[in-house]
Structures are given as C-alpha cells and as structure tokens.
Amino acid sequence: MTGETRNDASRHNAPRDHSAAAGLSRAGRARPVWLVAVRLARFDLPRFLIGAFLWLPVMVIPLAGGLLLQRLFDQLSGARPAGLGQILWICAAFVGAEAVRGVILVIAHTYGTYWWDAAATLLRANALRSILTARGAAAARLPHSSAEAVARLRDDVAGVVSFVDEVVPLTGAVLFSGAAVAVMASIDPVITLVLVLPMVVIGVLSRLMSELVRRLHLRARVLGAQVTAYVGDIFTGVLAIKTAGAEAAALRRLRAHNRARRDAAVKDSLATDLLDTATDATVEISVGLVLLLAAAAMRRGEFTVGDLALFTSYVGWLAQLPRTVGGILFRLPQAAVSTDRLTRLMAPHESADELSRDTGVWFYRDRPPAPTPGRAEPLELLQADGLTVRLGPAGHGVHRGIHDIGLRLPRGSFTVVTGAVGSGKTTLARALLGLAPLDAGTIRWNGETVADPGTFMVPGRVAYASQIPRLFSATLRENLLLGRTGDDLARALRLAAFDDDLARLPRGLDSLVGPRGMRLSGEQIQRVTAARALARTPELLVVDDLSSALDVETERTLWDRLDGAGTLLVISHRPAVLERADQVIVLDRGRLAGRGTLRELLGDCPEMRRLYHGDVLTDLL
C-alpha cells in the first residue's frame, strides 16, 4: 500500500489524482474503464467483430446438441418409437455438430490471439510512450521501483484486456440463452420460468460481492507487485548483498513478503471461487428443481425423458449467462483498479484517453523510425528564474529540494554548479531539464518562456549526461545512438575521451555492453553517457558529475576537449573544473549561496571557500 500512498503524496498538483485517491462514486471510477474498453474494441473493429462472430457458433451450436439429445431419449424411452438405425443417425449428427464446433473453435481462438496481443501491446506501448515522451516530469509518476511499474504494465494490462475480451462470450451467452429459453418455454413454460430465477440470484450475488472482490484483488495485486519489486531490488543490488554476506537476511525478507502475498492471494481467489461455486451450485439446484417440478407432468406423460434430457443439457449452458455476466461484473471493478493504476503512469495532463489511443499494431511490419529532430534555433541565452522544487515530505533532514534558484547561460559559456552533498545540484539540473517537477519558476530560451521543459529541453536543443547513467543490454552503437544517425558519433566519442577505449574493444561499436552496461567499468559508462549526449549535437550540454570517477589525466583530456565545444552546464566540485568556469553557482541546502567566477567567490562566498579549501588542504598532503 505504501507505493500507492507515496504516489498520491508526490502528485498533489494533479487534481485528477486527488479524486482518484479519495474515491469517487462507483460510476465515476468506472468511466475511464469504459472508455478504454470501447477503444480496445475499436482500434481494429473488423478484426474484433470477425473474432466475435467466429466465437458465436461455438456458443450457439450446443442448442442443436440439446435438441438431438431430446429426440434420442424420447426414442430410447419409447415415447417416440424408432428403429436402431435412426438412433444411430442421431448419434452421428450429435458428433457432427461437435466436430463443426471444434473446427470453428480452433479458428476463433487463433484469430483472437492477434486481437488480444495487439490490445495489450497498444496499452503497454502507450503507457511507455507517455513515460518516455509526454509533457511533465516522468519521475513523479513512476513508482520507486521500475519492477513495480513493470508489474502494472504486465498484470494490469492483462486484466483490462481480459475484461474487454469477456464481451464476446457475453454476446454468445445471450444469444444461446434467448434461443434456449424459447425452446424450453415451448415445452413447459412454468418450469422454464422457475429456472430463470436461480440465474437472476447468481447475477445479483456477483454484483453484491464485487466491491469485496475489488478490495481483496487490489490488495493481492499490491502485495504481488511488492514481491516482484523486491526480487528486482535484490538482483539489482546483488553485489551489495553478496559482499555484505546478507543473502540469508535478504531471503528472510523475501519470505515475509511471500507470506503476506499468499494470504492476500488465497483470500482473493476464495472470493472468485465463491462466485464460481455459487454458479455451479445453481446449475445443480436447477436440475433438482426440474426433477421436482416435472415429477407430476412426467406421470401424466406431458413431460418426456427427452424433455428432461434437453432441460438438463440446456441448464448447464444457460448458467453461462449469469456466469459471464458475473464474470464481467467481477472483472469490471478489477479492470477499474487496473485502469486507474495504468492511468497514474501517464502524465498529469493525460488520461485514459491517451492510454487507449489507437497508435497502430506493429506485429507484421516495423514502425517507421522516429525522425531525428532538425537543428534547433541556436541558443543565444538560457535564463531561469525562481526555480523551486519541493521534494518529499518536509522535515526529513534530507535536503534535496531547491528554492528560488536563477540561472543565466549565454551562448558558449561554461557554467559550473557546485555545493555540498544534498545541496540540490542534481535536482537543479533535473528541474531545468524537466525531469523533476517544477513547483515554481520559469525557464526562457532566447527570451521565449518554455512551457514544458521535459519536452523542450531535449535534443537537438539540450542533451544530458546524468550522474547515475543507465545503459541498456544492446550494442555500444545502439546505446550511443538510441535511434539517431551516426554522423556525429566519431566526434562525440573523441570529445568524450572514449576514442582510446573504443580502439581497445575487440568488436568496437558492436560490442555488447551487457545488462545496464555491466561489462563496462563505471568510468567508461560515464564517458559513454557523455558521448551519447554529445552525439545529439546539442546547443546546451548538461553534465552531472562527469569526472568524479576519472583519473587526473583522463579528466584533463576530457575537459580540454569539451571546453569550447558549446554551451556547458556542469555539476562538479572538482577544482580543475571550477577553474575553467566562466561562472560558478554555489548551492547550499537548496538555496543560492553565491554566483560569480571562482576567484570572486573565493573572495566573498564563505560556502565556496569551505568547499574549495577542503580539497586544497588534503591535496597538499
């Protein structure tokens, strides 16, 4: 549950989330689900309809089976005497009907796979696209662990698609039930009427239970996602656990998570079973009712053994209707929860609308590559005023927000942001790039106010080499280019001082870097990240703590090459970098402590003196 709470707390700017968290009326919560459901049915309507149409015979053919059984038993019991030959013909027809149904079933199922997978991929791709490209900061909507986000994209998407899928059996069940009730009523209207009642009971029962089911299901999902997230965590941090010898303790924690999930999951499925069992029991009770009510009629000869066979055969299939209705009613609250969880992955200005937008199916052809952005308007001046980011609940003792910070980066300038640990250096960079949500402040590019930094401050205007860079399981080339053409790659690699390392790699740019780039050393990853940013030929390059892991010589080479390569905003505390800077911005606990050249600041900024001379003294030995 903590994941949910944290998400809501960190998104207080979005009114939509408030209402979702507070819990609107049932209808209010269900509306986005219906929008998503309709969209999923319509993104490839012909296929959905043909798929549904193929399923209908599968559902309706049992009608013929019942009629054949009726004939057969009437002949067996002597109500309608006939020769053995005719009986065998009926038996053959019975098998024939089933054979037709079987063939259609295979076709319908295989055909339906396309729709199901396409619908799931549609939702997943839309959520992923929003996280990676939509306006607003992604950090605010992603759960702490990427594994938890994955759990949503895997399980919640499957839940929503299954809910829509359920419409097809519902149609089939309605068709079958209508016809079956008509046939039965023509035989004995009273018994038919009595049989409808238990079916209604089942429908009402499942509706009543849906709220409980929803709650239990949500809990099971949350606890399930926690296990997934935890497993992801321990394997991401496997080195820390191994070097600390904490394997046993990590497993004990896994056991605790597992227990909690077991209890929740058993309760969740118990609720499902209760509905299932109630449905099955209804079928049995109905058969019993037929026996009770038919006793007198059978004695009078008005109700034959064949009729009995038909009724008992239809009752089982009839129960499909309340079962399917129950199933839909049961899945609806789950799908509402899932839609809600998925929508919260989307940007604040987005809703279920963007989540379910038809963005095409790409199973049989590749999607055309995204166009490389053209050259941006050259940067003359980047200004930022009053940048404020409040992170986390106050009173933590952890300073990581920033308050009222201004910046002025003229073309070709070299600006360094420095400060103690937790002073907000990285937050400032992330706020400027739109990666952290801005609570106040404006950013102006050549005097024009930037409406959404997250989508504006990107290549070809700005590129970013982050403090904790992420590489992906792919080739070095793919990691560097990420979809761009490689025209500027050689220059970028040289500027980032990675050319020598590249020459030493046996397979060069085709080398696989391993999961999260694990086959490269930490310092190599940092320079690859810098090269990745430089390959985008940005007007402004933002670099976070690039030289922290580099040795002295590599660092000097790097800065010699980068200096003068464009407008630079660098987060660093290295003297060698501070000295090169045109201006240094000193942060202290999220506030501006000084601004100027290093020389000026050493004169009039106590925090700068504290930071700078700390290193000088230790280096003097």
Partner 1 sequence: MRARFDIGLRAAAALAVAVVMVTVLPLLAPQFTGRFVDDAIAGAGAGRLTMIALGYLVVAVAGQAARMLTAWLARRAAWDATNRLRETLAGHALGLDMAYHGRHTPGEMIERVDGDVAAIADFAVAFLLDVVASVLLLGGVLVVVCVIDPRIGAVLLAYCLLIGYAMTRVQRRAVPSATLVRATDAEMIGTLEERLAGAEDIRANGAGEHTVNGFYGAAAAWFHAEYRAGWIGSGLVAGTSITFALGTATVLGMAAWAQLSAGTAVLLFQYTMMVRTPFERLIDQLRQYQAALAGFARVRALLSEQRTLPAPADPRPLPGGALGLEIDHVGFAYDGAFEVLTDVALTLAPGQTLGLVGRTGSGKTTIGRLILRLYDPGRGAVRVGGIDLREADPASLRRRVCAVTQDVQLFAGTVRDNLTLFRPLADDDRLRAALAEVGLDGWDLDMRLDGQAFSAGEAQLLAFARALLADPGLVVLDEPSSRLDPATERSVERSVERLLAGRTGVLIAHRLSSLSRVDAVAVVEGGRIVECGPREALLGDPASRFSRMHGLAEAAR
Helix (H) or strand (E) holding 417, with range, is strand 414-419
Give residue 84's Cα distance to chain centre: 62
State the nearest-atom distance from the C-beta of 30 to partner 1, in Å: 27
| Residues 425, 544: Cα–Cα separation, whole Å | 9
Nearest 5°: the CA angle 180, 185, 188 is: 125
State the nearest-atom distance from the C-beta of 34 to partner 1, in Å: 25
Q: Tell me the number of residues near partner 1 by CB under 8 A.
A: 190
Within 249-278, the residues that bind partner 1 by CB under 8 A are: 249-255, 258-259, 261-262, 265-266, 269-270, 273-274, 277
State the nearest-atom distance from the C-beta of 553 to partner 1, in Å: 7
128 makes contact with partner 1 (CB under 8 A): yes
Q: What is the DSSP letter of 154?
A: I
| Residues 139, 143: Cα–Cα separation, whole Å | 8
Q: For every residue of 508-541, which 3-state class applies, written as one string?
A: HHHCECCHHHCCCCHHHHHHHHHHHHHCCCCCEE
Q: What is the DSSP letter of 567?
A: E
Residue (45 or 370) nearer to partner 1, CB: 370
Residue (106 or 190) nearer to partner 1, CB: 106
Within 165-194, the residues that bind partner 1 by CB under 8 A are: none
Among 349, 472, 490, 510, binds partner 1 (CB under 8 A): 472
233 makes contact with partner 1 (CB under 8 A): yes
* Pair of tokens at residue 330: 């049961």
Within 52-71, the residues that bind partner 1 by CB under 8 A are: 65, 69
221 makes contact with partner 1 (CB under 8 A): no
156 makes contact with partner 1 (CB under 8 A): no
Residue (179 or 231) nearer to partner 1, CB: 231
State the nearest-atom distance from the C-beta of 225 to partner 1, in Å: 10
Dihedrals φ, ψ of 421, to 5°? -55, 135
8 makes contact with partner 1 (CB under 8 A): no
Within 77-96, the residues that bind partner 1 by CB under 8 A are: 77-78, 84, 87-88, 91-92, 94-95
Within 561-600, the residues that bind partner 1 by CB under 8 A are: 573, 575-576, 579
| Residues 556, 561: Cα–Cα separation, whole Å | 9
State the nearest-atom distance from the C-beta of 210 to partner 1, in Å: 19
Interacting residues of 496 by C-beta distance below 8 A, sequence separation 6+: 527, 528, 530, 531, 534, 558, 561, 562
Residue (29 or 71) nearer to partner 1, CB: 71
Interacting residues of 620 by C-beta distance below 8 A, sequence separation 6+: none
Q: Applying CB under 8 A, which part among 124-132, 181-189, 333-341, 592-600 lies near partner 1? A: 124-132
421 makes contact with partner 1 (CB under 8 A): yes
25 makes contact with partner 1 (CB under 8 A): no
Among 56, 170, 174, 227, binds partner 1 (CB under 8 A): 227
Among 57, 232, 406, 410, binds partner 1 (CB under 8 A): 232
Residue (336 or 568) nearer to partner 1, CB: 568
Among 117, 211, 358, 448, binds partner 1 (CB under 8 A): 117
358 makes contact with partner 1 (CB under 8 A): no
Within 398-417, the residues that bind partner 1 by CB under 8 A are: 398, 400
User: What region, left, alpha or beta, does residue 545 occupy, with left being phi > 0 and alpha being psi -120 to 50 degrees?
Assistant: left
1 makes contact with partner 1 (CB under 8 A): no
State the nearest-atom distance from the C-beta of 193 to partner 1, in Å: 18
Which of these, 154, 166, 171, 221, lies nearest to 40 by C-alpha position? 166
| Residues 534, 541: Cα–Cα separation, whole Å | 7
Among 176, 230, 317, 445, binds partner 1 (CB under 8 A): 230
Question: What is the per-residue burial (b if ≥16 Cβ within 10 Å, else e) of 572-600?
Answer: bbbeebbebbebbbbbbbbbbbbbbebee
| Radius of gyration for the chain, computed over Cα atoms and rounded to the nearest angstrom | 33
CA-CA-CA-CA torsion for 313, 317, 319, 322, nearest 10 degrees? -160
State the nearest-atom distance from the C-beta of 453 to partner 1, in Å: 11
In total, the chain counts a number of residues equal to: 621
Within 511-540, the residues that bind partner 1 by CB under 8 A are: 514-516, 518-519, 521-524, 529, 532-533, 536
Among 42, 482, 487, 563, binds partner 1 (CB under 8 A): 482
Q: Applying CB under 8 A, which part among 322-330, 359-367, 379-387, 597-605 lies near partner 1? A: 359-367
Residue (34 or 354) nearer to partner 1, CB: 354
Kind of pairing between the strands at 591-596 and 440-445: unpaired
Dihedrals φ, ψ of 28, to 5°? -60, -35
Among 119, 180, 305, 492, binds partner 1 (CB under 8 A): 305
Among 177, 228, 413, 415, binds partner 1 (CB under 8 A): 228
| Residues 100, 555: Cα–Cα separation, whole Å | 75
Which of these, 521, 533, 527, lies nearest to 545 by C-alpha position? 527
Inter-residue contact 423 to 594 (CB < 8 Å): no
Among 20, 54, 149, 335, binds partner 1 (CB under 8 A): 149
